Amino acid sequence: MSDDMIQALRLAEAAVFGATQPVTPRMLASLLPEDMDVDAVMGALEAAYAARGVNLVQVGGGWQFRTAPDIAPQLRKVVELPRRLPRVAMETLAIIAYHQPVTRTEIEEIRGASLSQNTLDLLLENALITPKGRKETPGRPTLWATTPAFLAQFGLNDLRDLPKRDELLIDPTGPAPAPAPASVFVAEAAEAPAIPPEDEAAP
């Protein structure tokens, strides 16, 4: 391995380690020498970390260090997990992810229940959703979509990595389980305060 490649690996490693958000190819391209192939550098760095306690993974359109999946359960013994998002927030987030851009009224129609402003505020505070313009209908309601932070939060590199809807359907030949909530995500890493019980009530 050339000295230039070694230096490029060190630079990329330091950039990812010090960043609070996924490091994008554009950011790396501005950091590495012009003649360096970003994908080649990150591929080599990913291979170097493949067997370690932390892995280099692609999430949110960039790279981040994440705990190796096989040792994560053991770390739960000593690492305090943040609180999960409430169920109503997770259901809302799942609907936005699969139907974006979507209005509040459309979310309520899909959920079959009213949606309080508290829920949207909670998702906004956690940077999981963002306004995406307005729908050209009477009243011009706000359209909602997910953010790059949403992708990083749930270990996705792209929205195309979301489970396909047919993968979430119940097998008609199998036993009929109890109805499942709209949420398809595990939100162990999402820090959020609990929403008061009146969240299900109309705003």
Nearest residue to 198 (alpha-carbon basis) of 87, 116, 92:
116
Last residue of a domain, one of 18, 41, 72: 72
Q: Report the distance separating Cα 56 and Cα 42, nearest Å.
A: 9
Cα separation, 53 vs 162, in Å, equals 26
Q: Is 114 within the bounds of a domain?
A: yes
> Three-class SS of residue 190?
coil
What CATH number did the domain enclosing 176 receive?
1.10.10.10
Give the span between the Cα atoms of 169 and 29, in whole angstroms.
Answer: 41
Q: Would you state the pLDDT for residue 154?
A: 83
Q: What tokens appear for 50 in the block?
A: 């493949």
How many domains does the chain fold into? 2
Question: Do both 104 and 150 map to the same domain?
Answer: yes
Query: Is residue 103 located within the same domain as residue 44?
Result: no
Q: What is the pLDDT of residues 149-197, one digit of tens each?
A: 888 888 888 888 888 766 555 444 444 333 333 334 433 333 443 334 4
For residues 101 and 167, state if they share a domain: yes
Residue 82 inside a domain? The answer is: no
Residues 166 and 67 in one domain: no
Q: Which domain holds residue 47?
A: 3-72
pLDDT per residue as tens digits for the range 6-51: 999 999 999 999 988 899 999 999 999 888 999 999 999 999 999 9
**Residue 94 domain-assigned?**
yes
Shared domain for 97 and 61, answered yes or no, is: no
Residue 28 sits in the same domain as residue 113 = no
Do residues 103 and 155 share a domain?
Answer: yes
- Total length of the chain: 203
Residues 20 and 108 in one domain: no
15: in domain: yes
Tell me if 80 is assigned to some domain. no
pLDDT of residue 14: 94
Q: What is the pLDDT of residues 72-123, one digit of tens each?
A: 788 877 776 666 788 899 999 999 999 999 999 999 999 999 999 999 999 9
Same domain, 46 and 92: no
* 150 and 192 housed in the same domain: yes
pTM above 0.75, yes or no: no
CA distances from 35 to 5, 8, 11 (A): 11, 11, 14
Would you say 146 and 97 are in contact if contact means Cβ atoms under 8 Å apart? Answer: yes
Other beta carbons within 10 Å of 5: 15
